[in-house]
Amino acid sequence: MAAEKLDVLMVGPVMPLIEQGISRAFTLHKLWEAPDREALIANLAPRLRAIVAGGGKHEPMGPEFLGRFPKLEIISSFGVGYDHVDAKWAAAHGIVVTNTPDVLTEEVADTALGLLLCTVRELPQAERYLRAGKWLEGDYPLTRATLRDRIIGMVGLGRIGKAIARRLDAFRVPVVYHSRHPQPGVPYRHYPNLVDMARDVDVLMVVTPGGPATKHLIDANVLEALGPDGILINMSRGSVVDEPALIAALEAGKILSAGLDVFANEPRVPPELMAMENVVLFPHVGSASVYTRDAMGQLVVDNLLSWAAGKGPLTPVPESQGVRGRKSEISNQ
Ligand code: 8YV
């Protein structure tokens, strides 16, 4: 007789590839489709060992929710960012969190360069100009900004930051970076102080993880230091930027422009930003190709398969390193 399939709770909609992959090996429960959500949770709570979390477009996975599942062992989360999951609390309770790093690094770095070039050289605006028939009346104005003779300050130099810096090396654009600790073996100057770096560079490229530790890291002071020719690019999380302070800085000409792939309250974008001509706004498309999203989705499935086969998760987040599961906790009860 075939062994009974383990239950997996999915808290929000995910791509079909994930749903199919999970359904093949597990009994899948969809929280957002349950006619009675509380009844589903109550029914699963005594035995549930695995959760699949989407890309943050659902309720936060904090103690209040996770604490309802005493046998929970793993949360397989889609996306490299996992600020929607309280990974520290999870680790302290023997629950492993996995994310989908590496497979999206080059794609996000490509998009970052695209957003950078679009913002610096006003490429979307120039295209709108052509389509509006304005070229017949005269050339698009020369752009005030350029990458030539400019310095980029990376805010965060993790895997994605390094892949962006590598591209900028090829563009012959100098790179410096700010992070809490200097990175061993990188050729770029490290700034322990973000305001100091903002003062010295022309563009801030934000690629640091989201979450409480980086909330509003880019505030009015940093923007002031970046200065009237400065450009902000945000590829990480909307929470890292104080959005009202950014809007105020753009309106007052305290910085020149911004390129944003992420927003504080996605998919809602502040009307003030929508109305500005000197910003480039992307609908969170950093990793959004079929190729890369398939690879990310497959990793969500593979993490669960590897865990269920007793081989351990493939890509645990740093907080989960060394978490050995809840078996002792449970058998001690
Ligand atoms: C996804 C991302 O858009 O990986 C991340 O952290 O922000 C993106 O790749 C997001 O996770 C999906 O909704």
Q: Is the pLDDT of residue 328 over 90?
A: no
Q: Is the pLDDT of residue 208 over 80?
A: yes
The residues, ordered by sequence, that sit 6+ positions from 333 with a Cβ below 8 Å of its Cβ are none
Q: Which atom of ligand 1 is nearest to the CA of 57?
A: 13
Q: Residues 218-273: pLDDT tens digits?
A: 999 999 999 999 999 999 999 999 999 999 999 999 999 999 999 999 999 999 99
Considering Cα of 89, then 90, then 91, then 97, what sign does the dihedral take?
A: negative
Q: Residues 13-36: pLDDT tens digits?
A: 999 999 999 999 999 999 999 999
Q: What is the mean pLDDT of the chain?
A: 95
Pocket test for ligand 1, best of 102, 236, 284, 296 (most atoms within 8 A of CB): 284
Q: Is the pLDDT of residue 141 over 50?
A: yes
Amino acid at 182: P
pTM of the shown model: 0.95
The residues, ordered by sequence, that sit 6+ positions from 74 with a Cβ below 8 Å of its Cβ are 49, 50, 51, 95, 96, 97, 98, 303, 304, 307, 313
pLDDT band at residue 127 using 50, 70 and 90 as cut-offs: very high
Of all protein residues, the one whose alpha carbon is nearest to atom 6 of ligand 1 is 81
Tell me the mean pLDDT in the region 68-92.
97
Of all protein residues, the one whose alpha carbon is nearest to atom 13 of ligand 1 is 55
Q: Is the pLDDT of residue 333 over 70?
A: no
The predicted pLDDT at position 11 comes to 95
**How far does the chain reach from its first CA to its final CA, in angstroms?**
31
Rounded-to-integer distance, Cα 240 and Cα 210, Å: 6
Residues at CB less than 6 angstroms from ligand 1: 55, 78-81, 104, 284, 286-287
84 is an active site residue: no
Q: Is the pLDDT of residue 217 over 80?
A: yes
284 is an active site residue: yes
Q: Residues 49-71: pLDDT tens digits?
A: 999 998 666 778 999 999 999 99
Of the candidates 49, 93, 237, 326, the residue annotated as catalytic is 237
pLDDT band at residue 3 using 50, 70 and 90 as cut-offs: low
- Structural domains in the chain, CATH included, are 7-101+291-320 (3.40.50.720), 105-281 (3.40.50.720)
- DSSP assigned state of 178: E
Q: What percentage of the chain exceeds 90 in pLDDT?
A: 93
Distance 19 CA to ligand 1 centre (A): 17
Distance 188 CA to ligand 1 centre (A): 27
Q: Which atom of ligand 1 is nearest to the CA of 285?
A: 3
Q: Quick check: bond before 267 cis, omega within 30?
A: yes
The predicted pLDDT at position 324 comes to 77
Of the candidates 84, 284, 293, 326, the residue annotated as catalytic is 284
pLDDT band at residue 332 using 50, 70 and 90 as cut-offs: very low
The predicted pLDDT at position 56 comes to 62
Q: Residues 293-309: pLDDT tens digits?
A: 999 999 999 999 999 99
Amino acid at 56: G
Distance 331 CA to ligand 1 centre (A): 37
Considering Cα of 177, then 182, then 183, then 185, what sign does the dihedral take?
A: positive
Pocket test for ligand 1, best of 58, 78, 103, 285 (most atoms within 8 A of CB): 78
64 is an active site residue: no
Q: Is the pLDDT of residue 329 over 60?
A: no
Tell me the mean pLDDT in the region 104-115.
98
Rounded-to-integer distance, Cα 87 and Cα 95, Å: 8
Of all protein residues, the one whose alpha carbon is nearest to atom 5 of ligand 1 is 79
Per-residue CA distances from 12 to 138, 268, 302 (Å): 50, 19, 19
